Amino acid sequence: MRVEHDRIVAKFALHLVGAMREHWGNSNRAKWLCCSVSLFGMLLGCAGQGPAPGQVKAEEVMPMKYSYPPAATSDDGDTFFGEFVPDPYRWLEDGDAEQTLRWADAQDALARGLLAKLPLRDSFIKRLSELLYVDRVFPPVRRGERRFFVRTHADREKQVYYWQGADGEEHVLLDPNTLREDGSIAVGVMVPSWDGNYVAYSLRENAADEATLYVMEVATGATLAEDVLEGAKYASPVWTPDSKSFYYTYLPTDSSIPVDERPGWADIRLHQLGTVQSDDKVIREKLGDPTRFVGVELSRDGRWLFYYVQHGWQSNDLEVLDLQSPEAGWTSFAKSDEAQFQIIAWEGKFYVLTNLGAPNWRVLVCDAGAASLDACQELIPERVDQAIDNAQLIGGHFVLSYLHQASSRVEVRKLDGSLLRELALPGLGTCMGMTGLPEDDEAYYTFESFTEAPQVYKTSIASGESELWAKVELPFSPEPYVVEQLWYPSKDGTQVSLFVVRRKDQAFDGKTPLMLYGYGGFNVSMRPSFRASLYAWLEAGGAYAVANLRGGGEYGEAWHQAGMREKKQNVFDDFIAAAEFLIEKGYTSAERLSIYGGSNGGLLVGAALVQRPELFGGVVCAVPLLDMVRYHLHGSGRTWIAEYGSVEQSEELFRAILAYSPYHHVPEKVVHPPVLFLSADHDDRVDPLHARKMAARLQSASDGSEPVLLRVERNAGHGGADMVKTTIEKLADTYAFLAFATFAEREPSTQPVPNAAQVQ
């Protein structure tokens, strides 16, 4: 759940932030990065060709009794509103302590030793390699006479950044494969200047969120010596029209600042090319509030500077500065604890995308420089059955992306709001906006679905003509499979939608291994998106489902708020109800049903595990939040208080959070399905302490009949390492484990109990 504010196209967000800004603007980077995290989870769709369900007996794979590296307990805890909350594994919060490191290493050795013995793992690696080492090109963005784009190559671990001149010749801009032999340095943002002569880009050690910003001269490929900017964790450079400077968010790296207070020290600065960072001008001082984010956007003509203060994922304040008369100071355009605002400035008008009084969003318009939102009139009204997901200005027209029952619809409208046309998409799937400029007729977009790999199309805004620009060829056939969108009632009767991908000839006898994925938070929408690894799972005889839980953005802001703070239990109820529905309808059975979630989705899976352990045959919980009583004290936790609330705010929130916090609801003795925790050693977003403490507590409470494993990814941040081979290894381990849990016959075993020493 990385803390940034851009409402951007999530797929292209990993490649060119210049394109991101055209899609989302700078006012909601947090939604982008949560979306990127949810897409990370969905990309872990499933893996591996292997035997049909029931062909391998569990005792041939893993023993049925387990022992674990010992974890001492203590009498630590906290008292809130007169109630003492025990925390017996508090010592595992210190990730730098020698005893914690030794314990985590022993856990990882145990997990990897057992996972390596799974007979399906090698076939998973083989099939995943065929599906994930691919040639692909992403939509380009134009800056000056150059186009910038990204390619993945079937023979390289990391994506490569390119530029193309007016003559059409392609040049390598930056190849991350050459930066460090072990691949432990990753590229963060990559933002070209408006004239195309420079790019500002960031590098991240061990794929963590912390970053350093650099500037490259495109023609020579030389990195400018003076333009090296530290504290770029939240930086998304906003170039001025003359391409001589850019605005950015700076976060100090001073270790004396407490980690939970550090986000409140972010400020806005202006950097001039050719100068050192200490000369940068501070445009807006720090807020001193670690629960809020700050960011800037600049109008295309360079006149209007917009300052955003984001209150979590549901509201923001917006101020405007006229750079032609800066002495007049900032004007408060909109301020709200309940709604969001984003401005697109063009040709003397402010076009405002907002959900104020409209949970499904609408577009307002007023003269540029208007003193407040009160001067605006409604241009494009809210729709009851569709939520605006993205608003852009390309080719002198609005491009509006809508979500209709969690799938994309795209419209092109004139600046007076009237409809020009609806973009003809190939079917039920996802199109998250376009790349293009307000002055250019040419635009590009990507379409994908559960059964169609992402294809890039080129279109004319004026004529509406589209053509396939770049096709992805993958070694799979979608023909045997069908995608269904189903609806089911949650615990309180709320109707929730669910996508299921399965074989057309599947028998509804409860024998199909099915993996259920969910997220349910931060206004992130689960869409019909393509995951190549999913086909390895389907080919092996499994099925896949993803639920559109409350807390997400599929059905507008009201749907999001129905899964926030005191209402977070609704999300878990929706997920559990999806499992019950799939079992009731014969899609699977409890023994054959596995659940997966990452980050906020890890919280989801952890809560489902402790609330209904009998409902699942296998569980994978990745980079999770699990101790919700203390989450806000670590990593980026304070920035999520607007979404979750904290136990410090009120007794009502304390009671609500404690009631579902997974770490605090592991019983002393528990019968549970096989559980695999996935962690990363350099995760500076969700602290790995959550996975450590939960694994220790669940292992202690377990009778040893089913495994509880903790796998630690090395040189990796919250999203994992950014190399294909490490992704394949993690997928192979993960889904070999789930195949063991839900494909194998569960019979008693006489094999000896393993311990940490035996597998190191």
| Helices of type H across 430-469 | none
389 CB-near residues (< 8 Å, 6+ apart): 401, 402, 403, 408, 432, 433, 525, 553
CA-closest candidate to residue 404, choices 380, 379, 392, 422: 422
Q: What is the largest CA-CA distance in the chain?
A: 81
77 CB-near residues (< 8 Å, 6+ apart): 84, 85, 86, 87, 90
281 CB-near residues (< 8 Å, 6+ apart): 269, 270
Angstrom distance (rounded) from CA 214 to CA 227:
6
Question: Would you tell me how many other CB atoms lie within 10 Å of the CB of residue 467?
Answer: 8
In SS3 terms, 189-256 reads as EEEECCCCCEEEEEEEECCCCCCEEEEEECCCCEEEEEEEECCCCCCCCEECCCCCEEEEEECCCCCC
554 CB-near residues (< 8 Å, 6+ apart): 387, 403, 405, 406, 497, 525, 526, 527, 548
Angstrom distance (rounded) from CA 23 to CA 735:
34
Query: Cα separations (Å) of 686 from 578, 591, 683?
Result: 26, 31, 6
Angstrom distance (rounded) from CA 269 to CA 280:
6
Helix (H) or strand (E) holding 5: none
Annotation says 661 is catalytic: no
Query: Cα separations (Å) of 250 from 201, 213, 271, 302, 482?
Result: 14, 10, 11, 21, 48
- Catalytic, out of 560, 664, 672, 718: 718
- DSSP string for 568-637: THHHHHHHHHHHHHHHHTTS--GGGEEEEEETHHHHHHHHHHHH-GGG-SEEEEES----TTTGGGSTTG
Residue with tokens 């872990």: 44
Annotation says 672 is catalytic: no
Angstrom distance (rounded) from CA 357 to CA 354:
8
Residue 596 identity: Y
**Contact between residue 748 and residue 101 where contact means Cβ atoms under 8 Å apart:** no
Residue 121 identity: R
- Catalytic, out of 529, 599, 646, 661: 599
Question: Would you tell me how many other CB atoms lie within 10 Å of the CB of residue 182?
Answer: 10
Task: Characterise 565 by phi-psi region: left (phi > 0), alpha (psi -120 to 50), beta (else).
Answer: left
| Residues recognised as catalytic | 599, 718
